[in-house]
Amino acid sequence: MTPSNKKRFQPKHPVMVWDRDCQFCKLYAGRFKALALDNIEFIPYQDLAAKYPKAPDLDYKKSVVFFTHNNTYTGAAAVFSYYSKIGRKLPMWLYRRFKLFARISEISYRYITNHRRMFRLICQTFWGANLVPDTYKTSGWIFGRLLGLVGIIAFLSLWVQSDMLISSRGIVPFQSDLGQVEGFITTTGTDISKWLARPTILWFSKTDLWLNIVLCFGMFSSTLLLLGIVPHLAIAISWICYLSVASVSEP
């Protein structure tokens, strides 16, 4: 339904009111609350009067109600207004701009509310009894630190062996390998970039000093990843450094 500001209930933060006795509503209240990240208050209408005595007396069993500081939304408009508050503004934009979209949305909402039991069974069949989105915080924390530890071991192993294997004094100097690749591309006129043939930042400088700097950056970024410091940047740097060394380490 269209927003109303006739009731002068103006909460300091958005409030979503739902029916605690409705199992279908409970499924989505949990999901919506998790997505809102504590920026929106969710309260069953059964507890509304005790906490907010000035809240209007509406038919909260019929649909969810979403209170903002200026307006009161019900039905599909309440859901779309909620999404707008968490940054997903397209549904509310369509609702306000196109009457046909708004009408179809409200008809669909009423149909779902009149068949909540059926839709609850459908949701539980396909998505389980819990619709709260997985955060993967624990597994992500463990995986990131284990990956950082593996990176440290890998770079340490490469660093110890690099002088004997791929440095200018090694068995297969990376400078010679890159030179052969560059020479082959030049003499044959092959239509391929040297960066694709050997994806390595060692192209920037074919010196042992630069090789050690790359390995040092790999160790440092893996340590950052192990400590959970700027993990997205750390894993990107680790991958670039490891790929750069691994690309020139094959005989």
Residue-wise pLDDT tens for the chain (251 aa)? 555 544 567 888 899 998 988 888 888 888 888 888 778 999 998 988 888 888 888 888 888 999 988 889 999 999 999 999 988 999 999 999 999 999 999 999 999 999 988 988 998 888 777 777 676 777 888 999 999 999 999 999 999 998 898 988 989 899 998 999 888 888 887 788 889 989 999 999 999 999 999 999 999 999 999 998 999 999 999 999 999 999 998 76
Written as six digits, the tokens of 58 are 């509406």
- Could you read off the pLDDT of 116-134 as tens digits, one per residue? 889 889 988 887 777 776 7
Give the pLDDT score at 132: 73
DSSP 230: S
Give the pLDDT score at 10: 80
b/e per residue, 24-58, with b = 16+ CB within 10 A? bbbbbbebbbebbeeebbbbbbeebeeebeebeeb
Q: Please say whether the beta carbons of 203 and 211 come within 8 A.
A: no
Q: Which residues contact 211 (CB under 8 A, 6 or more apart)?
A: 162, 166, 167, 174, 202, 245
| Cα–Cα dist 236/228, whole Å | 13
Please give the share of the chain, as a percent, with pLDDT higher than 90.
Answer: 46
Other beta carbons less than 10 A from residue 137's beta carbon:
8
85 to 95, 109, 216: CA distances (angstroms): 15, 19, 45
Q: Which residues contact 63 (CB under 8 A, 6 or more apart)?
A: 1, 74, 75, 78, 109, 113
| Cα–Cα dist 203/104, whole Å | 59
- Could you read off the pLDDT of 185-203 as tens digits, one per residue? 888 877 888 899 899 999 9
Give the pLDDT score at 13: 87
